[in-house]
Amino acid sequence: MASHRLEHRLGRRLSVLLTLALLLALASFPGAANAGNSQQDSGPTPTIITGRDAVSGVVRMDPHIYGRPAGQPLPTVPDVTNVNTTNQANAQNETTIAVNPLNPSVIVGGVNDYRPAGNNDVNCGFVRSSDGGLTWSSGILMGITRGNGGPFTYDAAGDPSVYYGADGTAYFACLGFDRSFARSALLLEKSTDGGVTWSTPTAIVQSNTINLFHDKEMLTIDTNPASPFFGRLYVEWAEFLNSLTTAQEVISFSSDGGATWSTPAVLSGSRTTVEGASPAVGPDGTVYASWCFSSQFCESNVASTIFVNKSTDGGVSWSAAVAAANFTGISSPLPGNLFRTNSFPTAAVNPVNGHVYIAFADSASGNADIKFARSTDGGVTWGAPIQVNSRRQDDQFFQWMRVAPNGLIWVCYYDQSWNTTNWLDMSCSRSNTGTSFSRAIRVTTQSSNPANDGFGGAFIGDYTGLGIGSNNVPHALWTDTRTGNADAFTFNR
């Protein structure tokens, strides 16, 4: 889940049941005076199941306990504390996180969670903190997969997306699916107590055919009381069609807290090789939906385009797609690594001035860099992309972006420039203006070896997470393997 998009098509577009071998910081916090100044400048081998589903990126694995790797001494250790939010012997990856707007001490995140459960497969897992991220508890969402309570009985679940409503309700969108791809659904649960308890899941959309597979949904909510569509939920995702050989980007909305949903609107027009949903809502209620188009579903080193649609009537009707950025997709896997990657965008809207932003990974320079583009006219025209990361000679990827209530732009991403191998660190960069970014700030206190991801180094998830509260403090959530398996880590200052 966050799907494998059919192994980069035709040459690898075999049966969806084909078995594939798995061979394969913060110098200052928000409001810092120089935030807009540009300064660019092995563990044991895990037990794996030698099979990966052609579409679903939530791969199979054997639950196993692995030893702690020796680690790697590094010259620079940031002035932050890293916290393991999951602390499980099994893998967690593909992270998402949101902060309660009424109480920034209450934080909820989501993960693909492989801890033992009734379905003996992956589930949507949650993490929660009620003390600003100092301590965490975790669990899985019930009622989605077989053996875990009902009403739904899917084989597996994942692709988590968490977002807070203005009233302090946390919403969690999750993909449920069968390993045969005969059934799939996007499901929603919510929590009014900061993730302590979760509602019975309800369906956003369901399918009982291999010719319509729902994948990689992303959720956003209109949280501005002045908006005419205040409280409306939006979910954007890809629909894989024609026995999973093509895909279109769609979006749906709910005006009753997720109880009912509109008929999905198609955003991508005639383009049939798209993926990478990221919706965002502006302060006036305008909704922006971003996604990626390339011949290889934005999972390969080929010419790619980020498109953006917008709706000014609460998602009822949508503009034609506008090309916001043309770029070169990053290699999957990156040189020196085995895990798959993508160039999917993340979108955000500045709540202060309404500027629209996209961030994505680009390999035009010969390696993976994080790029940022902005529109100051409501997504009609877009400026030339600028670089976010500081070092150009190393790989940076899997960015996530949020804009704080004070208008400060944050982008956090995996960064391989903090170590001499191809191990993983997280960096964050910030901007006051959207015209330049601060020097990258490392937020990991040690690098982690992706070989310890629980999948032979082949799967660390397809994205990371970033949330910001009303106190303007960012909270990144990422997949980290320093414990010898993949856990969801965050940082505190």
Cis peptide bond upstream of 151, omega within 30: yes
Q: Is the per-residue pLDDT at 10 higher than 60?
A: no
In the numeric block, the tokens 């798959």 are attached to 340
State the virtual CA torsion across 402, 403, 409, 410 in degrees, nearest 10.
-30
For 308, other C-beta atoms within 10 Å of its C-beta total 26
List the strands of the sheet with 212-221, edge to edge.
Answer: 212-221, 233-241, 246-254, 265-266
Question: pLDDT for 150-187, tens place per residue?
Answer: 999 999 999 999 999 999 999 999 999 999 999 999 99
| Exposure of 438 in the CB half-sphere (CA atoms within 13 A) | 26
Question: Does residue 411 contact residue 372 with C-beta atoms inside 8 Å?
Answer: yes
Q: Which position has the token pair 């798995």?
A: 22
Average pLDDT over residues 226-234: 98
Give the pLDDT of residue 441. Answer: 95
User: Is the per-residue pLDDT at 16 higher than 50?
Assistant: no
Distance CA 359, CA 374 (A): 9
Closest CA to 165 of 93, 254, 264: 254
* Number of neighbours of residue 119 by Cβ within 10 angstroms: 18
**Residue 210 φ/ψ region, left for φ over 0, alpha for ψ in the -120 to 50 degree band, beta for the rest:** alpha
CATH number, position 178: 2.120.10.10
Query: How far from 371 is each of 31, 357, 384, 467, CA to CA, in Å?
Result: 22, 11, 10, 19
Among candidates 302, 295, 392, 298, which has minimal Cα distance to 345?
298
Q: Which amino acid is at 333?
A: P
3-state SS, residue 296: coil
Strand partners, 82: 491
Highest mean pLDDT out of 13-17, 49-53, 269-273: 269-273
47 versus 303: the higher-pLDDT residue is: 303
Please, what is the end-to-end C-alpha distance for the chain in angstroms? Answer: 33
Structure-token pair, residue 316: 């009822």
Evaluate whether 327 touches 360 at the Cβ level (below 8 Å).
Answer: yes
pLDDT digits (tens, 9 = 90+) for 27-65: 334 333 334 333 333 333 333 323 334 455 565 543 333
486: helix, coil or strand? coil
Whether residue 467 contacts residue 101, with contact meaning beta carbons closer than 8 Å, is answered with: no
pLDDT at 392 (0 to 100):
84
Asked if 270 and 261 count as a contact pair (C-beta separation under 8 A), the reply is no
Q: Give the number of other CB atoms < 10 A from CB of residue 421.
A: 13
The distance of Cα 33 from the centroid of its chain, to the nearest Å, equals: 29
- Run of H or E including 8: helix 5-8
- As beta bridge partners, residue 227 has none
Task: For residue 145, give Cα distances in angstroms to 43, 110, 297, 459.
Answer: 32, 16, 28, 22
Q: Which of 208, 255, 209 is nearest to 231 (CA)?
A: 255
Average pLDDT over residues 100-112: 98
Model pLDDT for residues 177-199, shown as the tens digit of each residue:
999 999 999 999 999 999 999 99
What average pLDDT score do residues 446-474 get?
97
| 361 secondary structure, DSSP code | E
Residues contacting residue 453 through CB under 8 Å, at least 6 positions apart: 46, 91, 93, 339, 459, 460, 479, 481, 485, 486
Q: What is the share, in percent, of the chain residues with pLDDT greater than 90?
A: 83
Using the predicted structure, report yes or no on whether residue 122 has a pLDDT greater than 60.
Answer: yes
Q: What percent of the chain has pLDDT over 70?
A: 85
CB 467 within 8 A of CB 402: yes
Domain count for the chain, please give it: 1
Q: What is the pLDDT of residue 412?
A: 98
Does residue 96 have a pLDDT over 70? yes
**Average pLDDT of the chain, as a whole number:** 88
Characterize the bridge pairing of strands 287-294 and 274-281: antiparallel
User: What pLDDT sits at residue 44?
Assistant: 30
pLDDT score at 493: 86
DSSP letter (8 states) at residue 440: P
Residue whose C-alpha is closest to residue 453's, from 25, 57, 56: 57
pLDDT, mean of residues 301-307 = 98
- Count Cβ atoms below 10 Å from residue 75 Cβ, excluding itself: 7
Residue 341 is which amino acid?
Answer: T
309 alpha carbon, distance to own chain's centre: 20
Structural domain harbouring 261:
5-492
* Cα 440 to Cα 77, 394, 417, 445, distances in angstroms: 13, 13, 10, 14
Q: Is residue 397 over pLDDT 90?
A: yes
**Whole-angstrom distance, CA of residue 297 vs CA of residue 304:** 9
**Which residues is 107 bridged to in the sheet?**
99, 129
Predicted pLDDT of residue 78:
84
Read off the pLDDT of each residue in 226-241 and give the average, rounded to a whole number: 98
